[in-house]
Amino acid sequence: MSTGADSRFMRLAIDLGRRGQGRVWPNPAVGCVIVRAGVIVGRGWTQPGGRPHAEVCALARAGAAARGATAYVSLEPCAHTGKTPPCANALIAAGVVRVVTAVTDPDPRVAGKGHAMLRAAGVAVEEGVEAEAAALANAGFLMRIRHGRPMVTLKLALTLDGRIATASGASRWITGSQARRRVHQMRASHDAVIVGAGTARADDPDLRVRDLGVAHQPVRLVADSRLGVAASGRLGRSAGAAPVWMLHGPKAPGGARRDWERAGAELIPCGLDAMGRLDMADALRRLGARGITRLFCEGGGGLAASLMQAGLIDELAVFSAGHVFGGDGTAALGALGVTDIGPHPFGLTGSAACGADLLHRWRRTGLAAALLTD
């Protein structure tokens, strides 16, 4: 039987796990709390690069105090010997007597075997505590393992009337410095950042995380079906310092391929959709196969519309600023061909002031259920 205290300790484990978001891919961002006689004796989370695993870190902190304790883990402990031995064995060896988990690990090397190993050793196991919250915190990993693609967050920085550029194309800066800082934090919590070719051409963005004191950088991606973005821009020039991957279509010219390769970028050939745009479902499958679990889309309107039309947007971070550009400004998303109003595809999950702007966060309806089933 799980208790209120179980839920509280599990929520703490889930929050600890979030610290790894953006730096543990292709692994999940797991958190672990070890509690003995109501007192926390060890805390841990998956380390950068995906190892050591959360349980190993928490057990190291707890030391001998783990004997007779309960371990709260936001994902089923692993059962396989990879570069490190199974966490289920580490918990057993440390003398943990009860393990509470939130979500079964769908990785076929684990998939219930971790729970079974613990039970076989006489450890009491309680599953499914705070499952939904844990699934959402590990949406990237669960989406990749169960559905073969990363989870996608779309960021929009809009005027009050939903525009992203003026009639003359001016788009810098709509939101203020606090919102921009927040965007850099969001980049850091994702494995990869993506923009469309139009945005890459118009803004010549760098897309690295700046001014946060973080050492790691997300992979920078451009969806550029014809590979028309010049490799001589900021992305190409910095491809040696932080990774750049170019998603392109079958007709990308050989010269452009060579320019990007010479700049140090990785080329990822993808298929096209019925409208001749990059097929984003195919592109995301290729990113999933490379281990990307969390993708942050920073526009523009064409790429955002392709992802939206394909039903591939899982979360939205929408910044609204006190500007009004009117109907001759650029809409946030390209044409979607929506005619009828069905049920809401997104639900509000949070809303807060961010400096002079407002940040609304939305989540795709039914996302948690999709993460907990194949």
Residues with a catalytic annotation lie at 55
Scanning 76-84, 293-301, 329-337, 351-359 for contacts with ligand AOF by CB under 6 A, the matching segment is 76-84
The first and second tokens of residue 172, run together, are: 């810098």
The first and second tokens of residue 180, run together, are: 């921009």
Q: Which does residue 332 touch among ligand AOF, Zn ion, none (CB within 5 to 8 A, set by kind)?
A: none
Q: Which does residue 334 touch among Zn ion, ligand AOF, none (CB within 5 to 8 A, set by kind)?
A: none
Interface residue with ligand AOF among 12, 71, 101, 107 (CB under 6 A) is 107
| Shortest-Cβ-distance residue relative to ligand AOF | 82
Burial class (CB in 10 A: 0-12, 13-18, 19+), 240: exposed
Q: Would strands 346-354 and 357-364 be described as parallel, antiparallel, or unpaired?
A: antiparallel
State how far the Cα of 48 lies from the Cα of 234, in Å rounded to an integer.
Answer: 27
Scanning 71-79, 102-110, 171-179, 337-345 for contacts with Zn ion by CB under 5 A, the matching segment is 71-79
Q: Is 27 in the site for ligand AOF (CB under 6 A)?
A: yes
Interface residue with Zn ion among 23, 53, 115, 220 (CB under 5 A) is 53
State how far the Cα of 231 lies from the Cα of 233, in Å rounded to an integer.
Answer: 6
SS3 123: coil
Q: Is 219 in the site for ligand AOF (CB under 6 A)?
A: no
Say which DSSP state 22 is in: T
Residue 256 sits at the vertex; the CA angle it makes with 250 and 259, to the nearest 5 degrees, is 135
Q: Which does residue 50 touch among ligand AOF, Zn ion, none (CB within 5 to 8 A, set by kind)?
A: ligand AOF
For the segment 155-214, give every residue that binds ligand AOF (CB under 6 A): none
Q: Which is nearer to ligand AOF, 75 or 287 (CB)?
A: 75
Interface residue with ligand AOF among 103, 110, 117, 239 (CB under 6 A) is 110
Q: Which does residue 276 touch among ligand AOF, Zn ion, none (CB within 5 to 8 A, set by kind)?
A: none
The first and second tokens of residue 280, run together, are: 């984003």
Q: Is 273 in the site for ligand AOF (CB under 6 A)?
A: no
Interface residue with ligand AOF among 22, 28, 196, 198 (CB under 6 A) is 28
Q: Is 146 in the site for ligand AOF (CB under 6 A)?
A: no
Q: Kindly state the smallest distance separating residue 87's Cβ from Zn ion, in Å.
A: 3
Q: Kindly state the smallest distance separating residue 64's Cβ from Zn ion, in Å.
A: 21
Q: Which is nearer to ligand AOF, 28 or 249 (CB)?
A: 28
State how far the Cα of 299 lies from the Cα of 164, in Å rounded to an integer.
Answer: 10
The amino acid at residue 87 is C
Q: Are 364 and 313 in contact (CB under 8 A)?
A: yes
Burial class (CB in 10 A: 0-12, 13-18, 19+), 338: exposed
Q: Are 284 and 140 in contact (CB under 8 A)?
A: no
Q: Is 150 in the site for ligand AOF (CB under 6 A)?
A: no
Tell me which residue has tokens 């939130």.
102
Q: Are 42 and 34 in contact (CB under 8 A)?
A: yes
Residues contributing to the site for Zn ion (CB under 5 A):
53, 78, 87
Residues contributing to the site for ligand AOF (CB under 6 A):
27-28, 30, 46, 50-51, 53-55, 75, 77-78, 82-84, 87, 105, 107, 110
